[in-house]
A and B are shown apart, each in its own frame.
Chain A
Amino acid sequence: MKVRFLVPAAALAALVVLFAVGLTRDPSKIPSPLIGKAAPAFNLPVLEGGRLDLGSLRGQVVLVNFWASWCTPCLEEHPLLMELARSGVKIVGMNYKNDPQAARQWLARHGNPFSVIAQDQDGRVGLDWGVYGVPETFVVDASGIIRHKHVGPLTRAAWQADLAPLLPSS
């Protein structure tokens, strides 16, 4: 007799838990299939002249940050990037579909946290990296493997929880 009412109640409880968990997840954050795989190679012009080959970054853990001066959320994460750069984190900037001059002006105004900035003018490298909206931040390890991807402005909480543990403690 009692079981009869327990079954639908249990089913309802299971659904409530399922939906509650679902509601806490952000559907705009899509897991990347590139985690644990080699970062897609590129050879791009550098904003301040010369070229950058991804292979030349081997041997150190770097953050690769896809960014643009037209991107408002990028400004949101900017102070944190500045702080990380000051503490010795190497950040590679990817100027994504952005005018080089606009990027220079933006950096002059807000400060430059990037150790080098590659010019991804047509967004082709962004496509290879599965970028679908700036800012996106990747952790690439010393052997050139993508270890983590953060979609959207980097927050201190996300940095401490997901990205910092992947970097050598300094």
Chain B
Amino acid sequence: MKRLLVALLLFAGAAVAQEATPDAEARYRALIAELRCLVCQNQSIAESNAALATDLREQVRAQIAAGRTDAEIIEFLTARYGDFVRYRPAFTVRTWLLWLGPFAVLLGAAAAAAYFIRRSRPVAPGAAQDAQRLRSLLDEERP
């Protein structure tokens, strides 16, 4: 019984130490999932075990506790580590190609595909002459 009580107290203590409000905790979770670890670049700082990721997580937690907004925290990190620290960098003069490039390539490919499909569509022999004849017949019909 005593042991259970101690365990419960420890658990409660850990929960209190972890984070003050559920809202701050949710913001912390969301932010660290959005930020790239610069050492192991395909992991967010939430996933990475690198020492740098630990430092950045602590930094994010401390700044949330200090009352900074998400935008301020992201600005703090991009000022030091560049756009690369964000998985979804802001749309700027430097990043527009990154955002729009894939769509431009897709559009180009669609246009090319449409062009080649139209060019290679088989045309029945004599169809062009038929069309011309039809046009002249229709013209004759007109008063």
Assess whether A55 is interfacial by the CB under 8 Å rule.
no
Please indicate the chain A residues that have their CB under 8 angstroms from the CB of B10 in the complex.
none
Contact between A30 and B81 (Cβ–Cβ < 8 Å)? Answer: yes
Assess whether B52 is interfacial by the CB under 8 Å rule.
yes
Assess whether A36 is interfacial by the CB under 8 Å rule.
no
Q: Pick the contact of A129: B41, B80, B112 (CB < 8 A).
A: B80
Contact between B81 and A133 (Cβ–Cβ < 8 Å)? Answer: no
Assess whether A111 is interfacial by the CB under 8 Å rule.
no
Please indicate the chain B residues that have their CB under 8 angstroms from the CB of A128 in the complex.
80
Assess whether B79 is interfacial by the CB under 8 Å rule.
yes
**A152 CB, nearest partner CB in chain B, Å:** 12
Q: Is the interface of A mostly helix, strand, loop or mixed?
A: loop
**A26-64: which have CB < 8 Å to B?**
27-28, 30-34
Question: Contact size class for B?
Answer: 10 to 19
Whose C-beta in chain A lies nearest to the C-beta of B115?
Answer: A7
Assess whether A78 is interfacial by the CB under 8 Å rule.
no
**CA of A132 to CA of B79 in the docked complex: distance in angstroms?**
14
Count of inter-chain pairs, beta carbons less than 8 A: 40
Contact between B119 and A33 (Cβ–Cβ < 8 Å)? Answer: no
**A1-16: which have CB < 8 Å to B?**
4, 7-8, 11
Residue from A7, A30, A133 having most chain B Cβ neighbours under 10 A: A30
Contact between B41 and A27 (Cβ–Cβ < 8 Å)? Answer: yes
Q: Pick the contact of B78: A11, A27, A33, A127 (CB < 8 A).
A: A33
**CA of A113 to CA of B107 in the docked complex: distance in angstroms?**
56
Please indicate the chain B residues that have their CB under 8 angstroms from the CB of A8 in the complex.
112
Q: Pick the contact of B119: A4, A11, A31, A130 (CB < 8 A).
A: A4
A-B contact pairs, 22 of them (CB 8 A): A4-B119, A7-B112, A11-B112, A28-B41, A30-B38, A30-B84, A31-B82, A31-B84, A33-B78, A33-B81, A33-B82, A33-B83, A34-B80, A97-B51, A123-B51, A123-B55, A128-B80, A130-B80, A132-B81, A133-B38, A133-B39, A133-B52
> Which residues of B are at the interface with A, using a C-beta cutoff of 8 A?
38-39, 41, 51-52, 55-56, 59, 78-84, 112, 116, 119
Please list the 6 inter-chain residue pairs (A to B) with the smallest Cβ-Cβ separation, ordered nearest first. Answer: A132-B38, A130-B80, A33-B82, A30-B84, A130-B81, A132-B52
> Which residues of A are at the interface with B, using a C-beta cutoff of 8 A?
4, 7-8, 11, 27-28, 30-34, 97, 123, 127-130, 132-133
